[in-house]
Amino acid sequence: MAGVRERARQELLAEILRLARQQLADGGASSLSLRQIARDLDMVSSAIYRYYPSRDDLLTALIIDAYNEMGAAAEQADASAVERGKNPRQRWLAVTEAMRAWAAKNPADYALIFGSPVPGYRAPDDTIAPATRLPRVLVGLLQTEHVEHAMSIAGPSIPRSIRANLKTIAADSGVPETVLLRGLTCWVQAMGLISFELFGHLHNVIDDKGVFFSLQMEQMADFVGFR
């Protein structure tokens, strides 16, 4: 019966990741401890190495997990908005609300990917693909909007080096570069606001953070040119 051992292995891999996320939530990346995980599992510490070859590999798994979860939350919010017959602007707003909600529910995971980098850790290339999942949703929305009503913004001329980058971001989407540039602004604004809120920089500045976020996202929807 091939798969009995394999299934147990998968379960333990997942269980270790779950405990690791718990630790992350309790004390941040620096308090992620293989020995503590082993203790939680009633295992000897060296046994963990059967599953993750090092602490850094476990960290990588956590990062990938976080990107995927946040990306999935965005995708789901969008899909659900589509189902409810929403237009691209409303979908954009729904997605940003979902981003904020996910971050609020998983502050440690959010901090892991959008906070200060873990010192001494260099993310391997495996993290790239999951990281693009969320931005992909946002670019997709610009594209949809552009197809429905041509977007255009009379902006300042964009330097050549930046234009090249913008082309790479959404090569064949047809979305004008000025709009893409503002799309980046919106993305940064959303993440910036979430970070400010989670990291305490709105403390004693803005009381109703939810209302504030929505208001800002409405503004950004106008700014980028959603109808």
Partner DNA sequence: TGTACATCAGTGAACGCGCGTTCACTGATGTAC
Binding site for its own copies (CB under 8 A): 27-28, 30-31, 111-112, 114-120, 123, 128, 155-156, 158-159, 161-162, 164-165, 169, 181-182, 184-185, 188-189, 191-193, 195-196, 199-201, 204-208, 211-212, 215-216, 218-220, 223
Could you tell which of DNA, its own copies, none binds residue 127, using a CB distance below 5 to 8 A set by kind? none
Rounded CA separation 39/17 (Å):
14
Other beta carbons within 10 Å of 11:
10
Could you tell which of its own copies, DNA, none binds residue 192, using a CB distance below 5 to 8 A set by kind? its own copies
Other beta carbons within 10 Å of 62:
21
DSSP assignment of 89-139 equals HHHHHHHHHHHHHHHHH-HHHHHHHHSSPPTT----GGGHHHHHHHHHHHH
Nearer to DNA, 55 or 133 (CB): 55
Could you tell which of DNA, its own copies, none binds residue 143, using a CB distance below 5 to 8 A set by kind? none
Q: How far is the CB of 34 from DNA (least distance, A)?
A: 4
Q: How far is the CB of 207 from its own copies (least distance, A)?
A: 6
Q: How far is the CB of 184 from its own copies (least distance, A)?
A: 8
Could you tell which of its own copies, DNA, none binds residue 35, using a CB distance below 5 to 8 A set by kind? DNA
Q: Which amino acid is at 52?
A: Y
Positions that interact with DNA (CB under 7 A): 1-2, 4-5, 8-9, 12, 32-36, 42-47, 49-51, 54-56
- Integer-rounded Cα Rg, in Å, for the chain is 20
Residue 158's contacts (CB-CB under 8 Å, 6 or more residues apart) are 166, 177, 178, 181
CA distances from 172 to 130, 148, 175 (A): 21, 16, 8
